[in-house]
Amino acid sequence: MFILSYVIYKYEKVELLAGIEKSKVKDVPGLAKFAGKVIALMATGIFILALVGSIIPHAGIAFIIYIIALLIVYIFRLGKYL
């Protein structure tokens, strides 16, 4: 996921995002930076919660809340770029 976020962020490959055509995006650099950051945050959260989950058995609930919160932020801010 870190590699995917880097490719989207650095090379503005917004067409890698599901259902988004580069020709229909108003602000390609802004969307690429935003999506790259969100995917990097998801990857970091998954990594940290996997480490914590190997120690504490109740980390699954925190993982679900974290990912849902990131998806909500992503969905509401996505309209700014389309």
Question: pLDDT (tens digit, 9 = 90+) per residue, 18-74?
Answer: 777 888 888 888 888 988 888 888 888 888 877 777 777 776 777 778 888 888 888
pLDDT at 48: 82
As a whole number of angstroms, the distance between CA 78 and CA 12 comes to 15
**What's the pTM value of the predicted model, to 2 decimals?**
0.68
As a whole number of angstroms, the distance between CA 39 and CA 76 comes to 15
Contacts of 60 (CB under 8 A, 6+ apart): 53
Burial of 76 (0-12, 13-18, 19+ CB in 10 A): exposed
pLDDT at 82: 62
pLDDT at 38: 86
pLDDT at 39: 87
